[in-house]
Structure 1
Amino acid sequence: MAEQAECWEVLSRELFPEGSGFAVVYGEAGSGKTAFSLTVATMEKEALFINTEGYPTYERALQMEIPATVEFTDISDEWGLIYDILKIWIKRRFIIVDSINSVFRVSASYDIETAFKAFSLTCSLLKTMSKNAKVLATAQVSLSGDVPSGDEVLKYYSTSRMRLIRVGWGKEGKAEINGEFFGMYRIEKGGFKWISCRRS
C-alpha cells in the first residue's frame, strides 16, 4: 500500500498547481467519485461540501467520520446550487461539489437551453471563486462513459481534470490526471485509499 500522505500531497500539487483552481473529477457510477470527495473533505477539515446526490452521501460521511468542521449543504436543483455558491462567495478556501452536473442532467430533459445556461453560469461562478480558493467538483459521465456530461463547458472552465476508471468489478481502479496515469486506488469503508501513485 502506498504512503497515503505523500500520494495526497502530490495529487494536491497536480490538481491545484497554483495553490488554487477548479478541478473536475469524473468517472462512471461506482468508480469512487463520492468516496474521493469525502476523503478530501476529511483532510481539508473546513471545507464546504455541496451535495446534489441525496441521502446516501450522508450515510457514507457518517461511516467515514467526517469532521464536524466540514459544512454540508444539500440541493436538488440548479438554482439552489447557484444560490449556495453566491451565498458563500469569498468565504471559503475549499469548496467541494458532488456532483456538479447531476441536477442539470435532470433539468435538461425538460428544458435543455435553460439547463445549459444555468450549468454554464454555475461553472463560471466556480471558476471565478477558484482564483482565491480550491474548488473540487465531481461529474457524472455521458452514456459513452469516456467524458463528463457537459464536457465542453467543464473543459472550458476547469483548470485540471482527473478521471477515475474502475478496474474489473471490484473496488479498485486507476486515476488519470489530465490524461496521464497517476495511480491505483481502492475504495474501502474508511474512504478512498491509494495503492500506488506517481511521485513528483
Structure 2
Amino acid sequence: MTDFNDKQLDILQAAEKLFAEEGFDGASIRNIAREANVNIAMISYYFGSKEKLLEALIIHRTSGMKMQLENIFNENLSPADKVDRLIDLYISRINKNKCMYQIVHFELSTKKRIMDMKAFIDIKLQNVEAFKRIIQEGQAQGVFRKDINIFLIPTTIVGILVHFQMNRMFMETALQLESDDAFEAYIKNELTAHIKQTIKALLLHEN
C-alpha cells in the first residue's frame, strides 16, 4: 500500500519524527497519536501495530524513486549527464529522508525485531533494475566500461554520503563548517562533486 490519505500521512510524518528522536522503542503510539492530532484507535485501524506503522513508513519513503529513475533514463542526455542526474537524485532523496534512513539503519543493524521487509526489498530491487538500465545504456554506447559491478554503484554513492553525515562533528571541525547551512552547502557542492568524480572514474574508460 503506497497511496495514503491525509490522516495516514499525518500519522506517518509524526511517527517518522518520533522514531528518529526517541527510537522505535521510545516512541509510544500514544505520543505518535498526540503528535499527529489523531486518536490511538485511528492508528490501530489504519496500521494495526507499531511494527506495521514502521513498515508503512519505510515503503512510503522509498516508493516513487523508480519513476524518477525512469524519467532520467528517458531524458535526452548523454550517459555521463544521466549519471550526474542519478547522483543528484540519490543525494537529494537521502537528505530529504534523513530521519527515515536513520530509523531503518538502526532497526536493520540491531535486528531487535523481525520486520516484514519483503515489500521494501521488492521496491529496492525495482530501483536497482531501473538504475542498471541507465548504466547499461552507457555501456551499449561504448561510453562506460563493461567490467563494472553495477550493483555496487548506488552503494558507493550512498556510502560516501552517509559516512560524511554520520561523522558530522568531525567533518565540521576538520572542514571548519560552523553552521547547519555551511554543512549542507558543503554536501551540495564539494561532496556532490567528489561523488560524481568518483563514480565517473569507475564508469568511464581510461584515457
Task: State the TM-score, normalizing by the size of structure 1.
Answer: 0.28
Report the structure, 1 or 2, having the larger helix content. 2
Higher RCO (CA-CA < 8 Å; seq separation 6+): 1
Task: State the TM-score, normalizing by the size of structure 2.
Answer: 0.28
